[in-house]
Amino acid sequence: MLKFTANLSLLFTENMLVDRFKAAKQAGFDAVEIQFPYDLSATAIKDKLDAYDLKLVLFNVAAADLLQGGEGLACVPEKRDQFKEAVAQTVEYAELLKPEAINVLPGRCHDNSRLEFYLETFKKNLCYAAEAFSPLGIKTVFEAINTNDMPGFIIHSGTQMLSVLNQLNRPELFMQYDIYHMQMMSEKLEAFIAEYADKIGHIQFADCPGRGQPGSGQIDFDRMFSVIEKSGYSGWIGAEYRPAGTTAESLNWLKPKT
């Protein structure tokens, strides 16, 4: 049976973040994920998880200015010290919250002449993060993001993710496969998941185009979820979409088919 998480950064935004845990539980979720949890203390998050019997499956290492159009942290050579500080912060949260995986966002390069330098920096930083999280029993994942939404993103395909995995050859390192982003890049989603399920540490989804809930775009999610289930992937699947209307109105995909 597939296991779904609610991404509290995009779902239940009718509520303040501290109140989204209760909303997720009431909607039928047993697990949640948060892009960047650092506006709340780790203790405050733990209290909410315990109160509503929820598991926090995944969150990201802080990425500085990435969501505002900047290059982020993980790939920028001049920001290695800042990245290490972000990893230290993540470890503090992870020691208390015990997620299954932590995501390192590769980031962007705005000067293509420096791209190789940025890629090498990212790989060094990814290893640094994996070495920090592995003793806690936590997987390190990294994500490809489409270059329409984030121009200059240095990892934007399944092939690139596989190349990084093969080069680094670390057993605690996995891909985070985002169905929306890879559909935006015209990837063959079903074939990739079926072939590389053992190298995927976390899956996220939204429909495409638009990044809305299943049924708002072109992806056949009944088929997609069936492919994931048959692939042997046993991890969590994160609902990371922007609901049209309220979150509760967007959850028909979660209800058992009758």
**Residues with active-site annotation:** 143, 240
Q: Are 239 and 225 in contact (CB under 8 A)?
A: no
Q: Which of 53, 42, 73, 19 is nearest to 247 (CA)?
A: 19
Q: What are the distances in angstroms from CA 218 to CA 96, 168, 180, 247, 255?
A: 40, 35, 11, 20, 20
Q: Are 133 and 117 in contact (CB under 8 A)?
A: no
3-state helix, strand, coil in the chain (%, to 5): 45, 15, 40
CA gap 126, 143 in Å, rounded: 11
Close Cβ partners of 90 (under 8 Å, ≥ 6 residues apart): 59, 61, 62, 102, 129, 132, 133
E strands, 179-250, in order: 200-205, 236-239
> Could you give phi then psi for residue 101, rounded to 5 degrees?
-150, 155
- Dihedral, CA of residue 109, residue 127, residue 80 and residue 77, to nearest 10: -40
DSSP string, 98-121: --SEEEE---B-S-GGGHHHHHHH
Q: Map tokens 């429909």 to a residue.
A: 207
